[in-house]
Amino acid sequence: MSGRIWVQSEPGEGSTFYFTVVFKLAGERAGAGIERRPILNGKETPGHSRILKIMVAEDNLVNQKLVVRFLEQGGHQAVVANTGKEALQMWHEESFDAILMDVQMPEMDGLAATAAIRAAEKALARPHVPIIAMTAHAMKGDRERCLAAGMDEYLAKPIILRDLLDTITRVLQSPVYQPS
């Protein structure tokens, strides 16, 4: 079924099992590619779209490759940060249209990195950058915890292409987002 299966395990914490399966949609032609849905600059302006520069803050190599591939399929540029600390440093050095932030990362987790970015935005009078949580935690209260930390939206893993692109579009259309 052109899928994958893998596990992430932490001694004393438990294991999380993941899998992906590729299904053909009803009525889809054999060999049809994945739909490309460029995200427009906050509005749906016919014939005018732009490539977004999106930071992917994720420590897992498999997840990095998957999300980067999804963003590229959506017509966007992805820049990878391996830790929350690296994400914060990259935010200070570059401008991003959005950040996809894993919640659990070494050195500095996604919640702490988001809090640091939000504090620096205020201190430096920089525009609000949309931050979307990506997490394997899909328990009750996890979404609220991410939003309370300053994240704009929440995606549970495994990430699905259409959900990712739709979430980015929705967040960029939010009144909080101020394009640079």
SS3 content of the chain, % helix, strand, coil (to 5): 30, 20, 45
Residues facing 17 on adjacent strands: 7
Q: Is residue 89 included in any domain, yes or no?
A: yes
Q: Is residue 59 included in any domain, yes or no?
A: yes
* Domain tally, the chain: 1
Answer for the pair 113, 90: CB distance below 8 angstroms, yes or no: no
For strand 14-20 and strand 4-10, is the pairing parallel, antiparallel, or unpaired? antiparallel
Answer for the pair 73, 64: CB distance below 8 angstroms, yes or no: no
Q: Residue written as tokens 């960029």?
A: 172
How far apart (Å, rounded) are the C-alpha atoms in residues 146 and 112? 10
In this predicted model, what pLDDT tens digit does every residue of 82-127 receive, in sequence order? 999 999 999 999 999 999 999 999 889 999 999 999 999 999 999 9
Give the CATH number of the domain where residue 137 resides: 3.40.50.2300
Domain extent at residue 97: 39-172
Ramachandran area for residue 150 (φ above 0: left; ψ -120 to 50: alpha; else beta): left
Q: Is residue 26 included in any domain, yes or no?
A: no
How far apart (Å, rounded) are the C-alpha atoms in residues 99 and 151? 9
Q: Is residue 57 included in any domain, yes or no?
A: yes
How far apart (Å, rounded) are the C-alpha atoms in residues 58 and 6? 17
In this predicted model, what pLDDT tens digit does every residue of 159-169 receive, in sequence order? 888 888 888 98
What local confidence, expressed as pLDDT, does residue 102 receive? Answer: 93
Does the predicted TM-score (pTM) go above 0.75? no
Q: Is residue 22 included in any domain, yes or no?
A: no
Q: Is residue 43 included in any domain, yes or no?
A: yes
**How many residues in total does the chain contain?**
180
Q: Is residue 113 included in any domain, yes or no?
A: yes
